[in-house]
Amino acid sequence: MTDSDEVPHDVRASLDQLLAEARAAAERGDVDTARPLLETAETVATHKLPAGERRDRVRWGCAAALDALPNADLAAAYATATADVVGASDPSL
């Protein structure tokens, strides 16, 4: 991983929390809570992650989870997969 792929600790923590809460809300069928959490995660990724594959994948994952709402299982799966990308040592995985 190159330095440009590094996720700052505070950004990683924010995205992890937002995506975990969005996943939990989606699993409960709470679209009104999940939607703003996913939108905020997408905004954080857009403005705080370095340009590159990780940022693109996180933004895509947030958008896919939003599109999947109100399908709780699918939206939760997208949120989980997106969180995995945030924490992955290789953003292409």
Residue pLDDT, tens place only, 2-35: 444 678 899 999 999 999 999 999 999 999 999 9
Specify the number of domains making up the chain: 1
What is the residue whose two structure tokens read 């599109």?
A: 67
- In angstroms, rounded to a whole number, what is the distance separating the alpha carbons of residues 76 and 31? 11
Handedness of CA 77, 84, 82, 32 (dihedral sign): positive
Residue pLDDT, tens place only, 40-86: 999 999 999 999 999 999 999 999 999 999 899 999 999 999 999 99
- In angstroms, rounded to a whole number, what is the distance separating the alpha carbons of residues 43 and 55? 11
pLDDT interval class at 93 (50, 70, 90): low
Q: Decide which of 92 and 62 is more confident.
A: 62
Q: Does residue 62 form part of some domain?
A: yes
Residue type, 67: D
DSSP string, 1-16: --GGGPPPHHHHHHHH
Q: Does residue 59 form part of some domain?
A: yes
Range of the domain at 38: 9-87
